[in-house]
Structure formats: C-alpha cells, structure tokens
Structure 1
C-alpha cells in the first residue's frame, strides 16, 4: 500500500502494509498504519508511538524488526505532525492544545482500529513524547495493554535549572497574552538538515542520513520547532504523570529505557521516574543518544534484546 506511505531510497516499506485515516471526534484526520507479522508464531500487536516531529516512515526498519519477531504493528502520526491534520495555518509550527488531545486520539485509535482489526495481546513501544503520552494514557490501558516499553520519555530537559512546573507557568503567561502560537524554540524547519556532526539524536550516520532524506524528499511530513503552547502542554503532561498519586495508578508493567548520552531529555529524570514506578524497571544504555531505535547497532541491539526479554510471546497469542 505504497500510496499511503512516502518512499525514499534506502527506506523500503515493511511487508503487509495497510492503513488509512480516521477522523477524530473534533474533526482532525489522523493517518495510521497497520502491518501484519511475517514470522510465526504470532505474538500479538505492538502499538508503536512516535516522538515529536516523527512520522510512520521513520520507523519502517523498527516495524520490520517487530514483524520478523511475529508481532503485528499498529502506529499513527500524531495530530499536528507527519501526514495527519496540522493544527495551525503555518504547518511548520509544532502545536497542540493539550497532551490529553493525544491521549483521546490514542483511545479512539484503539477503539476503531487496534481492538477490532489487530490480534492481541497488545503491547506499547513508545519513544520520547510518545512515551509521555503512553504514561498519561496508562491508567485507562490496564485492561488492554499487557506491557509497555518506554524509550527516553520527555519528562524534563537536561541541565535546565528550572522545573517543568516553572516552564508550564511561564508558558501559561505567554499563552494568556495570546502568544501561544509563537515558536518556543528553533523556529521554522531549515531547508538544509542539521549536519550529522551537530545532531543530538543519534551517532549513526547512515540512519541519520536515511531519516533526513525522508524530510528532504517529503518536506510536508516535517515540522519546525515547538510553539509556546506545545511546550506548555508538554510540561503539564510531564507534571501530571510525575504526580505520586498518578504513578500509583499505573498498573501496566513497564520497562523504561534511558539513553546514557541523551542531550534531548534528562537522563536523571528518567532514572528517578523508573525508580518510583511500582510495576516498572529501568535499562540505561550507556553511550546511546536520544533516538535509540535510530542509533548504531551496538546500542539498538541492546534495546531490542531488552524488548525480547520483557515482551514475551504467550500461548494465547498463537
């Protein structure tokens, strides 16, 4: 089904690709993909949740890895990014009103696509912003999702002397002044990608080139920087999932994977959060950068091995 996906050299689509769009209850079109397993025994379905400014195409390799393990995969482009509806006239601006909008979209995705069309049991594999969305949705996922693997959740910014609560309060002031749609950082997306030597997300030059080629060939899939309103929403979500009462409500067994050389999210915050989870454990991959699934094999294979150990196949999934 290549008419739904945007192809570039060196990034072949997985086998058994399907998908489409669903319309949210507030009228947004959300692109989703479903990919059947290519190996037996069948192990269930991994719901793959991407980070900010990511699209389905960036995870083709990971989807193939999961399909080769007997897992089906269901994934989506979050509202406001990828090939889903953008929320502002300037489609470069990363914007969302609240992360609860994301969790409502995820809930609808489960109800309309995953539960009716995808084989159980269900697991979540989520990166960065997607990991925070998974945490925020987790109290309602206890009877749906068997396990979660959360990679480098965006709980705090590294080396920042102010708390996420302070960030939220400052951003709230700007939003009250009508400035929420202004860029909080970085500005519009450059026509030229950041040189590999200056990037903060991976130490793998080939995977970095592959991913930047997607956005070079299909610029409408990319975003510029986050707006003030998006940053306020992210800070509020990080606060919410860090509340002790909220953490006590998380019942889905969770493996949190941190990147030891992360320059995007706070490794200390990730470690601290994992220690507070009653049903959680932590794997820190020393030397890995933020996007572990886009990293060198040395780091990526550690993550996949941990996934294999934590997300076993079960007899009732065959």
Structure 2
C-alpha cells in the first residue's frame, strides 16, 4: 500500500518472499508494519507490494480470475526457470504502473530467491535506452536489495536442466516428495518449527508465535498444491544462471546492496539434489579455512566490478526480514533514500 502522499517522487518496493514449505507473503508482515511506522517523514512516497510468488500460498492455483470471472492468466507447471517467477512479478509491476505513477522500483528479496530480483532488474534495464526511457513505458529498477545471499558460485554457475527436471520428478511424482510433505505437516507442523529454529533463525523466539501456524495453514491451501513450487526450488530451479543478469547490472546505474544477519552460525539449509558429495565436502571445509583463502563473495565480486555494494548487518541469521524487521526497515530505507 501507499505509505505516504504528497512526496517528491514515488518509489515502488517489490518484496519477494523466500520459497519453502508454507512460506508466502505473510513472511513480510512484520516488515510491512515497520515500514509503515518508520516512513512517515520520508522524502518520497513508497508503494510497497508484497505478493505471493507463483506456486506459493494463495498463488499456487495456476488459474487466476478477475472479479467478473474472466481468466487472466494460466501459468504452466512445473516452475523450472527463474523467469517463471520474474515474469509474474514484472507483469504485476506493470499492472501497478498502469494504476499509479511509479518513478522507480526497488526489488527486495532473501537468499535463494535473489536470482528473481536480479532478473527483474536486468530485464527492465535492457529495455531502457541511454536517456533512461523504457520503450514499454515501464519504470526502471534503481535498487536491488538482497539479504542472506548465497555464495558467489550460486550466482555464476548454472544447474544442469536435465538434473533439475529429474530431481523435480523424483519429488513431485515419487514417494520421496509425498513423504517429505507429509512429514513436514504431521503433528501440526512440528518438523517445520524444529527445522526453522535450527536452520533459519538466530534464536527460536525470533520466529514468533505465528510462524508454525502460518506455514501449516499456507501449505494446506488448495490441497497442498504449493508443494510443487517448493519441490522446484529444492530441485535447483533458481540456479538457472545469473551471470547474464549480473553482467547487465554491473554496467548500469542500478544499486545492488546487501543486508546480512549478525548471527555467526554458518550452516544453513541447502538443496542437496543438485550438489555432488564433493561439492558438499568443499562447502563444509570452507567454513573452517583461513579467511584469506575464502572464495570471493558476491559483495567482493560487485565491488571488483565497480559497484558500491553497500552492506548492513542487522539482527537475526537467515530470515532477517522476519527476525529483525525493524533493523531491516532501517537498512532498506537508508539504501533507497
């Protein structure tokens, strides 16, 4: 919604939630509240958009209709490419631009969904000429804000599409996926809570009393159809390759800034379906190597290629927009002005 009126310019903020069992736009409810609270004195107007990603929560039904009953979109499944999600959000941004004036956009996301934000920004930049004019009348993306970013290889390497499809089929059609989904939701989501406390937050209390209930309720919508987007994510669909998007953005005026959690624990949830044992062993060893031998980070890569790549550390660990919404809001507002 609009956070203020009568300002100098209007900035659209697209919030992209993570993909996981039962995760949806509710993930950003705390952040939305903090933005509403903290931006009353801002110099610009903010229009904040927080949709359910295609295949997640309320958007897991591929047929969407208007109030008159007209079918608006019918998306294919499975979702196996970055563009399956970036196209959805870019279309939504265009729809919003038709309804209100947006001078520029900031696209915000977390962790493994970072490629979606980069793809949106790069696509809009490619359509913008040297005068800053977009031939489709679209407003440019001026800022990308990424939190809890994966290692640089995640962005520069490309997953094998054959392996991704094989992993997806194993999950979506076989007993492995059925068992995983059943186990995740059994005992009213006891596993979801245990997994989240162990892998996604600095302290269990950071999740709050509604985390488990929101996950379970969202995961059960439409007969549990959101499991297919989760399976796509686990199969490596978002490791579709970001090198082209990054190449476009490092040569542009788009700011790419980072927010990280201050909790020191390094282990995190990962998709094992597309990683070889050798890669997993390398990842384990790297956490104990001397700092000078650590592989280049995304921030270092961006700075080496001429970007400021500002970074702010806030509370929390992985799910920082939920864990420390106040800190996240302060960092985000500082980045976009």
TM-score by length of 1: 0.66
Mapped contact 1:125–1:148 kept (Cα < 8 A): yes
What corresponds to 1:233 in structure 2?
A: 237
2:145 pairs with one of 143, 149, 155? 149
Residue of structure 2 equivalent to 1:285 = 313
In the alignment, what sits opposite 2:111? Answer: 128
- Tell whether 2:76 aligns with 1:74: no
Q: Deviations over 1:199-225 (max 9, x none)?
A: 311124153432222123444357558
Q: Does 1:308 align with 2:329?
A: no
Residues 302 and 157 of structure 1, relative CA distance in 2, 3 Å threshold: farther
2:148–2:261 contact (8 Å) kept in structure 1: yes
Distance 1:182 1:284 in 2: 42
2:173 maps to 1:190: no
Partners of 1:157 and 1:211 lie apart in 2 by 31
Distance 1:197 1:109 in 2: 30
Q: 1:114 to 1:170 in 2, by over 3 A?
A: same
- Equivalent of 1:84 in 59, 68, 92: 59
Of 24, 28, 31, which residue of structure 2 is paired with 1:55?
A: 24
Secondary structure of 2:259 counterpart: strand
SS in 1 for 2:237: helix
Q: Judging changes above 3 Å, is the alpha-carbon distance between structure 1 residues 201 and 111 closer, same or farther for their aligned structure 2 residues?
A: same
Is the contact made by 2:164 and 2:237 (CA closer than 8 Å) also made in structure 1? Answer: no
Determine if the alignment matches structure 1 residue 65 to structure 2 residue 34. Answer: yes
- Which residue matches 2:2? 36
Q: Are the structure 2 counterparts of residues 134 and 283 from structure 1 closer, same or farther at C-alpha, using a change threshold of 3 Å?
A: same
Query: Relative to structure 1, is the Cα distance of residues 137 and 209 closer, same or farther in structure 2, using a 3 angstrom cutoff?
Result: same
Deviates more, 1:223-232 or 1:123-132: 223-232
CA distance in 2, matches of 1:168, 1:310: 35
Q: CA RMSD in A?
A: 3.9
Give unmatched runs, 5+ long, in structure 1: 1-34, 88-93, 313-318
Tell me what 1:112 maps to: 95
- Cα–Cα, structure 1 residues 258 and 229, in superposed 2: closer, same or farther, change >3 Å? closer
Q: Who is 2:322 aligned against? A: 294
Matched length? 262
Question: Whose RCO is larger (CA < 8 A, sep 6+)?
Answer: 2
Contact 1:95 1:229 in 2 (8 A): no
Which moved further from structure 2: 177-186 or 285-294?
177-186
Q: Distance in 2 between matches of 1:241 and 1:256?
A: 17
Unmatched 5+ residue regions in structure 2? Answer: 41-45, 63-76, 126-138, 271-282, 288-294
- CA distance, structure 1, for counterparts of residue 96 and residue 60 of structure 2: 18
- Where 1:59 maps in the other structure, the secondary structure is helix
Q: Which structure is higher in helix share?
A: 2
- For residue 309 of structure 1, report the CA deviation from its aligned partner: 1.9
Q: Kindly indicate whether the alpha-carbon contact (under 8 Å) linking 2:110 and 2:146 is maintained by their aligned counterparts in 1.
A: yes
Over residues 206-246 of structure 1, what are the superposed CA-to-partner deviations in whole Å (9 max), with x where a residue is unaligned?
5343222212344435755843686342111345545xx34
Residues 18-64 of structure 1 show CA distances to partners (whole Å, capped at 9, x for unaligned) of xxxxxxxxxxxxxxxxx221687586331211111331222111112
**Do 1:50 and 1:128's aligned partners in 2 also have CA atoms closer than 8 Å?**
no
TM-score, normalization by structure 2: 0.62
